[in-house]
Chains A and B, each alone.
Chain A
Amino acid sequence: DTGVSQDPRHKITKRGQNVTFRCDPISEHNRLYWYRQTLGQGPEFLTYFQNEAQLEKSRLLSDRFSAERPKGSFSTLEIQRTEQGDSAMYLCASRGSYNEQFFGPGTRLTVL
């Protein structure tokens, strides 16, 4: 257990529905990443927060994807109008003082 928690661990939804995932990073970490990982691939960068500021977003983050970290603590990732291609593992990582990333267990999304 890295100390990073994600909720839910699994989500099954129908195409077109909206979903929201939550990440609780290690409490003293002010830097947080979201990644998407599909089978057989490495984590793919989605977005980066430093405290509550979203400093970088991937081009892959279309207008259907949004992320927030309102108080610089937990973060949420929302996907609107889900598509089957959104099925993946969504990983959150909080970054420590030596730049190491501590990953949470991930949320596995299945879009039917």
Chain B
Amino acid sequence: GQQVMQIPQYQHVQEGEDFTTYCNSSTTLSNIQWYKQRPGGHPVFLIQLVKSGEVKKQKRLTFQFGEAKKNSSLHITATQTTDVGTYFCAGYSSTSGTYKYIFGTGTRLKVLA
């Protein structure tokens, strides 16, 4: 079945450093979403990528969708303590006749002040 892996599992950075998490799917995706979950909270939608090679920016966050639509990345420039949390990607494949999103394993970010 479809699998979505994320690396790294954990990342500790000093405030001001950059951070990147990578998401890889075993199958080609129709779209990919990114979510942030703060400690003790629920996932919050950040963005959706649909097109091959798509790049979207939200302030200090840059999201990329790979050319083959099987991988994606989230890059945070100059991290702040408010960036702390777990970042999940969630992949969707319409060709497999499914409605479900497969969430990645997540990358837990800790920012040291």
Contacts and interface: CB of A to CB of B under 8 A. Distances in A.
A45 B101 contact: yes
B85 interface: no
For chain B, which range describes its interface: under 10, 10 to 19, 20 to 34, or 35 or more residues? 20 to 34
B105 interface: yes
B45 A106 contact: no
Interface string A95-108: 00011111111100
Contacts of B63: none
Interface string B55-77: 00000000000000000000000
B45 A100 contact: yes
Contacts, number: 56
B46 to A, nearest CB: 9
A34 B104 CA distance: 16
Contacts of B44: 2, 103
Contacts of B102: 45
A50 B43 CA distance: 21
B21 interface: no
Interface string B24-64: 00000001010100000111110010000000000000000
A41 B106 contact: yes
B39 to A, nearest CB: 11
A106 B31 CA distance: 25
A42 B99 contact: no
Contacts of A100: 33, 45, 48
Interface in B85-113: 88, 90, 92, 98-106
Contacts of B31: 99
Give the interface centre of B33, B88, B99, B103 by most chain A CB atoms within 10 Å. Answer: B99
